[in-house]
Chain A
């Protein structure tokens, strides 16, 4: 992977506690899976930042390689990949996600 792309991904996930790589933006998600994760984060009222992978082909491909995870969206919490849509949905439904945000003091 291009070194600059890797650095830019690291920069994003290390400087933002909750960061989502998604297709589109929180206001205009361009994919149902990305939209679901945005809705969950919004519901939990956790502040988060996003990268629209559709704006940058290098990031779009790079992020798959970065975490060895072939799909988007990808949610990072404190620099760690938490999951894609299915895992986040499951963790939301069983309360685990909220618990993690609470334990990390990420809820506003």
Chain B
């Protein structure tokens, strides 16, 4: 279970290209991370839909491989 920080970065970076992704390992157990993603892909989307986009990229991994992921999404400042 779980995934390494590098694996998580890889998945997010592949799915959300041209985004700035910061990952913080919260517990060192490959299962608790906080991610901050700044992306133009979020522009015009509600918070809910911004997070859904991140969940879409993670697909089935979320809730099964990875349990605790704190997400913060932002649109780049003009």
Contacts and interface: CB of A to CB of B under 8 A. Distances in A.
Contact of A81 (B48, B55, B68): B48
Contacts of A86: 51, 70-72
Given A64-B63, A71-B62, A90-B72, A84 B47 contact: no
Interface residues of A, number: 15
Contact of B63 (A33, A71, A82): A71
Nearest to B71: A86
Interface in B37-70: 47-48, 51-52, 55, 58, 62-63, 68-70
A71 B55 CA distance: 9
Which among A33, A69, A81, A85 has the greatest number of chain B C-beta atoms within 10 A? A69
Contact of A83 (B48, B55, B62, B69): B48
Contacts of A70: 55, 58, 62-63
A87 interface: yes
A64 B63 CA distance: 9
A87 B62 contact: no
Contacts of B55: 69-71
A87 B63 contact: no
Contact of B68 (A33, A68, A91): A33
Nearest to A88: B47
Given A70-B63, A71-B63, A83 B51 contact: yes
Given A69-B52, A70-B63, A84-B51, 14 more contacts: A68-B52, A70-B58, A70-B62, A71-B55, A71-B63, A81-B48, A83-B47, A83-B48, A86-B51, A86-B71, A86-B72, A87-B47, A87-B51, A90-B72
